[in-house]
Amino acid sequence: MANSFKQMTKAGVIKRTDTGMFISLSDIHVREGFNKREDDERTRQADDDLFNYLMNGGSVPPLEVIARDEGGVWVVEGHRRRRCYARCAEAGKPVDRIHIMPFNGNDVQRLARIMTSNNQLPLSDMEQAAVIQELHNAFNQTTSEIAKLVNKSVATVEKLLLLSTANHDVQQEVKSGAVSVDVAVDRVMEYGEQAGTVLQHDKAVAAAQGKTKVTRSSIAPDLSFMPTESAFNDGVTAAANWVDKQRESYDNEHGRTDNDTGTFEFGNDAQRDYSETLFDIAEGIRNSVRVNP
């Protein structure tokens, strides 16, 4: 027989008071793979802040949960809170019963809830893309249906869905914050498998402008601003030199000099092709230097 909140209340697993429903921390379970949040520095810092807040007596909204057939409940919304409650218990703070509330919705709505919660650290672009991809692939939801579920525009959902299928190098640039979602998607749509290589050129252009992130404005600057020829050429040279350094670093990591022949070799053709592509990009940038007639 399936578990229910009513059964757990009768059995004393859940205690009801005037302020809501409460359950032991040990009866709150996390379904593996459900939450798309990555264990990165951003999340760990936010967890530390939440942990300190709870240790100092701070209050947070109840966890949204569903009944678990094997007993207890599954977390739908509140994974970070559950994790930080556990840290509080390990640190010696009494954590008796946790405030919970039933989540009302089906499996599709449960997954979408990860993106619509106002009580959590907002998901990163790549984390959102992972949610969108599962809603689309596992639950056969259209982009219009997903947009309604996660309170996003159809255009945004389509961009995130495309990002979820982009090559790993493109996704890493977005994840690191070096490239905006808009630019990454634009490059994938225009260049396909070569998008990652093109983004390296875009990063060089942005770096020459003193910018740390590639945005549409950095690769398509305001045409009303016309730099002097000298300033333009300095920027071109800086961009080309930046690509040269990237190629040198890549070559040192993936290539070696053959002791017998003295030639520089790579482990495979793809690595050699990538290095040559970086060389071509640098040369292409240098060729855009303006020369007085």
pLDDT band with cut points at 50, 70 and 90 for residue 228: low
pLDDT band with cut points at 50, 70 and 90 for residue 292: low
Q: Is residue 219 part of a domain?
A: no
Of 72, 104, 136, which marks where a domain is finished? 104
The span from the CA of 178 to the CA of 231, in Å, is: 24
Q: Is residue 128 part of a domain?
A: no
**Which among 103, 115, 62 has a CA at the least distance from the CA of 85?**
62
| Residue 109 CB contacts under 8 Å (≥ 6 apart), including other chains | 149
Instruction: Return the CATH number at 55.
Output: 3.90.1530.10
Number of domains in the chain: 2
Q: Is residue 73 part of a domain?
A: yes
Q: Is residue 173 part of a domain?
A: no
**Mean pLDDT, residues 216-225:** 66
% pLDDT > 70, the chain:
93
DSSP 25: G
pLDDT band with cut points at 50, 70 and 90 for residue 181: very high
- 85 close to 54: Cβ distance less than 8 angstroms: yes
pLDDT band with cut points at 50, 70 and 90 for residue 225: very low
Of 82, 104, 126, which marks where a domain is finished? 104
Q: Which one of 89-93, 242-246, 263-267 scores highest in mean pLDDT?
A: 89-93
Residue 211: predicted pLDDT: 92
pLDDT surpasses 50 at 224: no
Coil, strand, or helix at residue 82? helix
Q: Is residue 172 part of a domain?
A: no
Q: Is residue 187 part of a domain?
A: no
Mean pLDDT over all residues of the chain? 88
Q: Which residue has the tokens 């950095």?
A: 218
| Residue 198 CB contacts under 8 Å (≥ 6 apart), including other chains | 187, 190, 191
Q: Is residue 255 part of a domain?
A: yes
The domain containing residue 39 runs over which residues?
A: 5-104
pLDDT band with cut points at 50, 70 and 90 for residue 116: confident
pTM over 0.85, yes/no:
no
pLDDT surpasses 80 at 124: yes
Of 104, 133, 157, which marks where a domain is finished? 104
